[in-house]
Amino acid sequence: MSRKKALKGKGSSNTPNSSPSAEKEKGKKVSSQANGVVHPSRPSLSNSGEFYDIAFKVMLVGDSGVGKTCLLVRFKDGAFLAGSFISTVGIDFRNKVLSIDSMRVKLQIWDTAGQERFRSVTHAYYRDAHALLLLYDVTNKSSFDNIQAWLTEIHEFAQQNVVIMLLGNKADATHERIVKREEGEKLAKEFGVPFMETSAKTGLNVELAFTAVAKELKHRELKEPNEPKFQLQEYVNKEMKGVGCCRS
Amino acid sequence: MAAEDLPSQFDVVILGTGLTESVIAAACSRVGQSVLHLDRRNYYAGNWASFTFNGLLSWIEEYKNQQELQITESEQEWRSLIEDGEEAVPLNSVDSSISNLEVFCYASEEEEQEEETKDLLTCPNAETVSEETNSDSTETQDTVTSDDVTESNVKVQNEENEDSAPKEQLHASDISEHSQSVEEKQPNRSPADPPAELQKKITYQKLLKEGRRFNIDLVSKLMYSRGALVDLLIKSNVSRYAEFKNIGRILTCRNGKVEQVPCSRADVFASKQLTVVEKRMLMKFLTFCLDFEQHPEEYQDYSEKPFSEFLKNKKLTENLQDFVLLSIAMVTQQTLTEEGLKATQHFLRCLGRYGNTPFLFPLYGLGEIPQCFCRMCAVFGGIYCLRHSVQCLVVDKESNKVKAVIDTRGQKIGCSHFVVEDSYIREEQRESIDYRQISRAVLITDRSVLPSESDQQISLVTVPPVESSGPAVRMVELCSSSMTCMPGTCLVHLTCSSSGTAQQDLAPVVSQLFHIPTTPGEDPSEGTGEISKPAVLWVMYFNMRDTSAMDSSCYSLPSNVHVCTGPDAGLGSDYSIKLAESVFHCLLPDEEFCPPAPNPEDIIYDGDAPQAEGRGFDESNDTEANKSQAEEEGTTNETNPENSEAAEMDSVAQETTLDTNPPSEE
C-alpha cells in the first residue's frame, strides 16, 4: 500500500488550548462577504496557507468503491492510492486553490466519509454543495445503474442550481471496462449534465473536471450582466482527453 | 448499492442516531474504536430530527399508520442463530414515544382549487411538489446558502477570539460591540422578504411548494453559548460541520402583551420599560448573581426557600421579579434559591460571547447537530446504516454480557458494547417506568409576535403559566434566515412539561398570542384585537416521551448495554451531552472524550511509493484486507499531539498572527 501519511509543515489542530483550524480561517473571514464568496479585491488566506479570492464547496457522490477518494487525492496531492479497496477513513475535506483566468478559486472538496456505503449520506452533505461530482466506475455496471438513484437523492436535497457533473472513473482499465463511453454520454444527455471519463490512476481529465467546475462556479458568481453564459459542456469537450491519449 | 454485508465484529454497536448516541459514536470512533451505527428510520437523529414541510407530513402519516398497525413478529428466523449458552433479548420494533398528535391547517387552499373538505394529512405527491419548486427563482436561496459558508467562520472566530481574550466579564462595551458585529451581517445575509411578498397571503399550496425551505425540529432547544454542547462542538472540531445564528432577543408575555426582556447591561440601559430606579436595582442584582458564591451572607437565609421569595426580599419590583424568575433564570415559583441563583449566573456568563443573548441556534435546525457528530464518526471509520435495526441481543449466559446482536437482516454481529436509545427497549426489560411527557406545538405563522426593525431575528419567548401551578411555556420563534422556514413566515416552537395532552397544555397559549382563523385564510375582524396578532397558518400538537429521569437502575439489561434516554424538556442540551460523556467513560475509562479532530489539511497522501500495477482497480472482495487497511488507517492517520513539536510551534505562530491581525475589521 502506497498510502503514506505525514504532517505537512503547516500547523496541526491538536494543540489542546487552541483551535488553529478556526483561527486560521480568521484571515479568510475578515475579507469575506455576505454571499459566501470572498471579495476579489481582497485576497484571503486559506487553511493551507494559500491566498484565494473566491471559495466554493464541491462534493463527491457515487457508489462505494468508484474512486471518489482516489480522485480527490489525485487532484489534491497528485498521488494515487493503490490497493484493492480503500474505504474512506480520515478524509473529511481538502482544499485546493486553482488559478482561473487570473483569479484564485478555492475549492473545498468533501468526501462522503463512507456514509454512501449503505446509502446513509446526511442531507447536509448535499445541501451545502455548490457543485457535485457524480462518479461511477466504468468497470462496475451497478455503480452506473445507481446514478439515477443518486440523482434522485441530489435533486431532493441539494440546492436547485447546484452544478452537477457526471464522471466515469477508472477509464484506464480498458480490459475490465463494462460501461461504454457512449452509455455514459447518453445518460448524461438524458439528465442534462456534462460528462467525461476520468482516471484517478493515470490522472486523465482529473484536473479538467475540477477546473471546469471551478470555471463554471466562478463564472456564475461574478457574471457581468451582459456576459455570455459559460458553456461548461463545450469547454469540457474542447479540453477533454480521450482514453489512452496521454497522461495529463 | 446496499447489498453489501456488514463486517461481523465491532467494538461498539450503537442503535439510534439521536444526539446522545451520535456523540457517543463520534467519541468512540475518534479514539479508534470500530463503530457500527444504526437507525431503524430512514432519516438521521430520531426524535431530534428536523424535517422539511413535506417530510414532516410524511412523518405524521407514518405516525398515523403506526397507530393502526398490529405488530406481528416473526421470532423464528433469528432463533436458529442462538447457540448453547446464549440467551436472546428481543428489542422493540416500534417506537411509541410520540403520542396525541393533532394537526390543523388554517392556511387557505384557494390558489389551485376551490374549497373542498381537506384531508389535512394527505399531502400531494412530493414529487410534483419538488417539480414545481424547480421553476421557482432560486436566486435568493443561493445567496443565503453560499453566505452561510462565511457565516460559520464568523461564529467560530467570534468564540475563539473570546476564548483567547482574558476579559470574560459582563462589560457593556463588550456586549454592544459583539452584538453589533453580528447585527451588521444580518441585513446582507437574510433573504429579506420584500414587503410585497409579506402582503401576499400564504396558501397551503404555497407551503407545500416551498416545503423544502422548512426545517422543522421535533425537539426545540437552544444552545447556551457556554453550555456543554457548544464547548463540545468547539473542543472536538465538530463545529466545522455546522453554522449558527445567535438569538436576537428574549421576550416575555405579561398581561397578554409581548415585551422584550432586558438581560444584558446594554439592554438594561436601553430599556424604555424600566424606570431609572429599576435599572439600577436590576444591574445591582445581576452583578451580584455573577459571583453570588462570594457573598453567601446575601442568600444563605434563603437556601431552603424558593428563589421567588428571595427575589421579593431583594426588594425588586414585581416587574423585575418576573423578568429574573421567568426569563433569565427560567425557573418556577418553587425552585430553591441556590438553584435559581445558579441558573441566573449561567445565563449571565453566557451573555456576550456571541451576541446580545446567551443563546445560539444551528442554521437548518437542531436536527443538524446529531448529523454533525455522525459525520465525525464516519470520518474516523464508523459505519452507517439507516433503515437498519437490531432484532435482538445475544447474551452470554455465563457472563451475562451481550456478545453479539442480530440485525434486521438476520446477520449476527459481534460487539463488546451495545449502546441503544431508550425507545428500542421493551417493557420486559424495564424495572421501573418513570416517564414524563413533553408537550410540543409547532406553528407556521405569518409574522413575528413582536415586529421590529429587523424581522430576521430569532426570539426566545417565555410565557408565564396561565395558572400559577402550571408549567411555564417556552416559545422559540424562528425567522427565515435561520433556514428553518420560507420567507414571509415564522416557525414557532412551543414546549412545556406536560400536565395534559399537548393540545390541552398549549392551545390556550396559542390562542392568547396568535390569531386563529375560524375558516382557513380568513382575515381577523377589525377592532377585536386579533388584527395585531400574527395569524396561524398551520399547527401541529404532539407529546414526546421524556425519559430523562431514567437511569441504569430502571432497566434489567446486561452490564455492557448502555441505554441513552431521549431529549429532556430543558432549554439546553447539557443533559444529553453529559449523559454521552458518562456512557463514553463507562465504555472506555482511559480514553479522552472527543479530542480535537486533526485538520484535514494535515493529512497528505504521498504518491512516491511504488504503485501496485494492475492491482489498483481489482474489485477484490477480500474483506480481511479491507479490514486491516481500515484498521491501519484508523490508527495512523491522525497526527499525534505529543510528538509533533513542529506542529505545536506552528500553532503558536498562528496565534501570533491572530494577535497582529486586530479583530477591529470584524
A225 falls in which pLDDT band (50, 70, 90)? Answer: low
Look at B663 and A97; give whichever has higher pLDDT. A97
State yes or no: pLDDT of B123 exceeds 50: no
Chain A residues lying within 8 Å of B655, measured CB to CB = 18, 20, 23
A141 lies within 8 A of chain B by CB: no
Q: What is the pLDDT of residues B283-305, one digit of tens each?
A: 999 999 999 999 999 999 998 99
Q: Note the pLDDT of residue A32.
A: 33
The beta-carbon neighbor of B599 closest among A13, A65, A87 is: A13
Q: Note the pLDDT of residue B37.
A: 98
B519 falls in which pLDDT band (50, 70, 90)? Answer: confident
Look at B74 and B623; give whichever has higher pLDDT. B74
Global pTM reads 0.80
Burial of B545 (0-12, 13-18, 19+ CB in 10 A): buried
Q: Note the pLDDT of residue A36.
A: 39
| Cα B129–chain centre separation | 27
- Average pLDDT across chain A, whole number: 78
> Which whole number is the average pLDDT over B21-31?
97
B70 falls in which pLDDT band (50, 70, 90)? Answer: low
Q: What is the pLDDT of residues B88-119, one digit of tens each?
A: 999 988 889 999 999 999 998 875 544 444 44
For residue B295, is it within any domain? Answer: yes
A89 lies within 8 A of chain B by CB: yes
Look at B578 and A42; give whichever has higher pLDDT. B578
Q: Are residues B383 and B319 in the same domain?
A: no
Q: What is the pLDDT of residues B576-586, one digit of tens each?
A: 999 999 999 99
- Boundary of a domain, candidates B360, B377, B394: B360
Chain B residues lying within 8 Å of A35, measured CB to CB = 143, 146-147, 188-189
Nearest to A195 by CA among A237, A223, A154: A237
Look at B170 and B285; give whichever has higher pLDDT. B285
Q: Note the pLDDT of residue B40.
A: 95
Q: Are residues B314 and B420 in the same domain?
A: no
Q: Note the pLDDT of residue A200.
A: 94
Q: Are residues B342 and B271 in the same domain?
A: yes
Look at B122 and B346; give whichever has higher pLDDT. B346
Q: Are residues B421 and B556 in the same domain?
A: yes
For residue B543, CA distances in Å to A35, A124, B56, B452, B506 come to 39, 27, 15, 32, 11
CA distance B42 to B388: 8
Q: Are residues B265 and B380 in the same domain?
A: no
Burial of B215 (0-12, 13-18, 19+ CB in 10 A): buried
Q: What residues contact residue B304 under an 8 Å CB cut-off, 6+ apart?
A: B336
- Average pLDDT across chain B, whole number: 79
Q: Are residues B239 and B341 in the same domain?
A: yes
How many Cα atoms occupy the beta-carbon half-sphere of A220 within 13 Å? 22
For residue B530, is it within any domain? Answer: no
Q: Note the pLDDT of residue B464.
A: 87
Q: Are residues B285 and B399 in the same domain?
A: no
Tell if the CB–CB gap between B641 and A176 is shorter than 8 Å. Answer: no
For residue B100, is it within any domain? Answer: no
Q: Are residues B330 and B411 in the same domain?
A: no
Report residue B65 as a C-alpha cell.
399508520
B233 falls in which pLDDT band (50, 70, 90)? Answer: very high
Q: What is the pLDDT of residues A159-210, one digit of tens each?
A: 989 999 999 999 999 999 999 999 999 999 999 999 999 999 999 999 999 9
> Which whole number is the average pLDDT over B212-229?
96
> Which whole number is the average pLDDT over B585-609?
78
For residue B392, is it within any domain? Answer: yes
> Which whole number is the average pLDDT over B340-359?
91
Q: What is the pLDDT of residues A126-146, one digit of tens each?
A: 988 999 999 999 999 999 999
Nearest to A115 by CA among B388, B400, B659: B388
A63 lies within 8 A of chain B by CB: yes
B140 lies within 8 A of chain A by CB: no
Domains held by chain B: number: 2
% of chain B with per-residue pLDDT over 70: 74
Range picked from B259-273, B295-309, B600-614 for highest mean pLDDT: B295-309
Nearest to A114 by CA among B633, B45, B390, B411: B633
Which amino acid makes up residue B627? Answer: K
Q: Are residues B325 and B275 in the same domain?
A: yes
Chain B residues lying within 8 Å of A204, measured CB to CB = none
Query: Which CATH number fits the domain that encloses residue B372?
Result: 3.50.50.60
Mean pLDDT check: name the lowest of B324-328, B523-527, B535-539: B523-527
Q: What is the pLDDT of residues B427-475, one digit of tens each?
A: 999 998 878 999 999 999 999 999 988 889 999 999 988 776 677 899 9
Q: Which of A14, A176, A202 to mutate to test the interface with B (most CBs of B within 10 A)?
A: A14
For residue B94, is it within any domain? Answer: no
State yes or no: pLDDT of B654 exceeds 50: no
State yes or no: pLDDT of A13 exceeds 50: no
Q: What is the pLDDT of residues B481-498, one digit of tens each?
A: 999 999 999 999 999 999
Q: Any idea which residue has 380568513 for its cell?
A: B522
> Which whole number is the average pLDDT over B390-402?
95
State yes or no: pLDDT of B185 exceeds 80: no
Q: Are residues B346 and B425 in the same domain?
A: no
Q: Which of B17, B133, B162, B602 to mutate to test the interface with A (most CBs of A within 10 A)?
A: B602
State yes or no: pLDDT of B6 exceeds 90: yes
Helix runs in B263-336, H state only? 265-270, 276-290, 296-299, 307-313, 318-322
Dihedral sign from CA coordinates of A120, A122, A123, A125:
negative
Tell if the CB–CB gap between A34 and B188 is shorter than 8 Å. Answer: yes
Report residue B141 as a C-alpha cell.
436561496
Q: What residues contact residue A215 under an 8 Å CB cut-off, 6+ apart?
A: A100, A101, A230, A232, A235
Tell if the CB–CB gap between B149 and A20 is shorter than 8 Å. Answer: no
State yes or no: pLDDT of B403 exceeds 80: yes
Nearest chain B Cα distance for residue A147, angstroms: 11
Q: Note the pLDDT of residue A222.
A: 84
Chain A (172-191) residues lying within 8 Å, Cβ to Cβ, of chain B: 172-173, 176
Q: Note the pLDDT of residue A46.
A: 52
State yes or no: pLDDT of A30 exceeds 50: no
Contact B480, B487 (CB under 8 A): yes
Q: Note the pLDDT of residue A90.
A: 64
- Boundary of a domain, candidates B341, B360, B379: B360
Q: Are residues B287 and B304 in the same domain?
A: yes
Query: What SS3 state is found at B36?
Result: strand
From the DSSP assignment, how many helices (H) and strands (E) are in chain B?
20, 21
State yes or no: pLDDT of B8 exceeds 50: yes
- Boundary of a domain, candidates B309, B337, B360: B360
Tell if the CB–CB gap between A77 and B388 is shorter than 8 Å. Answer: no
Q: Note the pLDDT of residue A248.
A: 39
For residue B104, is it within any domain? Answer: no
Q: Name the residue range of residue B25's domain.
A: 9-49+366-433+548-587
Contact A61, A129 (CB under 8 A): no
CA distance B633 to B625: 12
Tell if the CB–CB gap between B150 and A8 is shorter than 8 Å. Answer: no
B612 falls in which pLDDT band (50, 70, 90)? Answer: very low
Query: Which CATH number fits the domain that encloses residue B317?
Result: 1.10.405.10
Q: Are residues B356 and B425 in the same domain?
A: no
- The complex's ipTM? 0.80
Q: Note the pLDDT of residue B150.
A: 35
Tell if the CB–CB gap between A124 and B241 is shorter than 8 Å. Answer: yes
Interface contacts (A, B; CB < 8 Å)? 313
Look at B273 and A129; give whichever has higher pLDDT. A129
For residue B33, is it within any domain? Answer: yes
> Which whole number is the average pLDDT over A24-45?
38
For residue B461, is it within any domain? Answer: no
